Amino acid sequence: EVIFTRNASEALNLVALIYGERYLQEGDVVITSELEHHSSVLPWMKLCERKKAELKYIPLDEEGRITVSAFKKILSEKVKVVALTYVSNVMGYITPIEEIIKLAHQYQAIVVVDAAQAVMHLNIDVKKIDADFLAFSGHKMLGPTGIGVLYGKKKMLQKLEPLLYGGDMNEEVNLGSVTVKEIPYRFETGTPAIAEVIGLGEAIDILESIGIETIHEYTMAIKNYALKGLLALEGITVYNPTAETAIISFNIDGIHPHDAATIYDNADIALRAGHHCAQLITKWLKTNGTLRGSFSIYNDYQDADKLIKITKEAVLFFRKFAGENNE
């Protein structure tokens, strides 16, 4: 079943609030990782505090990846929820989510998948991977902002009460009772985001007409070209050279990413700078943030060449600036 939300953040919070509040008990365990976007980890962190449950993190390998072997080591009968990203929005790594879901289900744990960063890169079959809940934002598929999707198994959603009450989600209201509508309408209170839903549908149609695999191959080719150029430069640290998606996280050595970002901004290059709403992984990397380049269907090799050129110029600029200040 598909429920429309404002974004993936709202969808992930919704699962914690309508499922976690009802079923999580004192002493239970929720498993997550340091790769998570704040929207994937914080709802469960706060819920565990309230419920006196334990939040456990899968130890990452030397590259910062989630591995099945590390997941197995912390899996137990106490685990009730596994909340993980499908693709890290900082590192671009693909989580072995299907194997993890299979293992989690052997312990009767549910799995909540943050697929916001995955939907543009992977053909996702929710039935094949057997996810209990999966969320993404429309703008990640080049659709409008303000629209997100929560997929949930019908058998899971039927057990749950709505978080919000009001218009369009009830069948009948009496003086002392209310009968709510069937799924998904009971979870979609009030006037829906009609224009945004239509826009998301159109965006998905366009992407599917091109082909997600075609998009992935195209963006990876440009990303790998840009990566080769960046790795050839001195004074650059790339944190995810083996990423399977079209994301490069890097820094100019010794320069705060926010300062470096001004150079790219002046050159009309749109990079994101900072911790990307994922402070746990930037702390794991022992950095105060990164520069992140994400390649999409509207990029080409000229964009990659420009990124390499401006990065080289930025390194020289900051070296010159540092030298003048040291004189």
Percent of the chain with pLDDT over 90: 96
Structure confidence at residue 323 as a pLDDT band (50, 70, 90): low
Mean pLDDT of 283-300: 97
- Asked whether the beta carbons of 33 and 215 are under 8 A apart, the reply is no
d(C-alpha 290, C-alpha 241), whole Å: 14
Tens of pLDDT along 215-261?
999 999 999 999 999 999 999 999 999 999 999 999 999 999 999 99
Task: At 277, give phi and psi (nearest 5°).
Answer: 55, 35
Q: Tell me which residue has tokens 């953040």.
A: 9
Question: What does the pLDDT read at residue 322?
Answer: 65
β partners of residue 84: 113
What number does CATH give the domain 211-326? 3.90.1150.10
Among the residues of the chain, which ranges form H helices?
8-15, 21-23, 38-51, 68-74, 97-106, 126-129, 154-157, 194-210, 212-231, 257-266, 279-284, 301-326
pLDDT > 60? residue 327 = no
Considering the four listed CATH numbers 3.10.180.10, 3.30.460.10, 3.50.50.60, 3.40.640.10, the one that applies to the domain covering 2-207 is: 3.40.640.10
Structure confidence at residue 320 as a pLDDT band (50, 70, 90): confident
Number of helices (H), then strands (E), in the chain? 12, 13
Question: What does the pLDDT read at residue 321?
Answer: 72
Catalytic (active site) residue 48: no
Q: Where are the domains of the chain?
A: 2-207, 211-326
Mean pLDDT of 47-54: 98
User: Of the residues 68, 126, 183, 277, which is catalytic?
Assistant: 277
Q: What is the mean pLDDT of the chain?
A: 96
* Strand ordering across the sheet containing 54-58: 2-5, 148-152, 133-137, 110-114, 79-85, 29-33, 54-58
d(C-alpha 24, C-alpha 48), whole Å: 8
The secondary structure of 237-281 as a DSSP string is EES-TT-SSSEEEEEETTS-HHHHHHHHHHTT---EEE-TT-HHH
Tens of pLDDT along 109-165?
999 999 999 999 999 999 999 999 999 999 999 999 999 999 999 999 998 999 999
**Which range, of 25-29, 155-159, 203-207, 238-242, averages the lowest pLDDT?**
155-159
Structure confidence at residue 325 as a pLDDT band (50, 70, 90): low
Structure confidence at residue 286 as a pLDDT band (50, 70, 90): very high
CA angle 190, 195, 200 (to 5 degrees): 110
* Strand ordering across the sheet containing 290-294: 236-238, 247-252, 290-294, 272-274
Task: At 183, give phi and psi (nearest 5°).
Answer: -70, 140
Tens of pLDDT along 65-115?
999 999 999 999 999 999 999 999 999 999 999 999 999 999 999 999 999
Question: What does the pLDDT read at residue 77?
Answer: 97
pLDDT > 80? residue 22 = yes
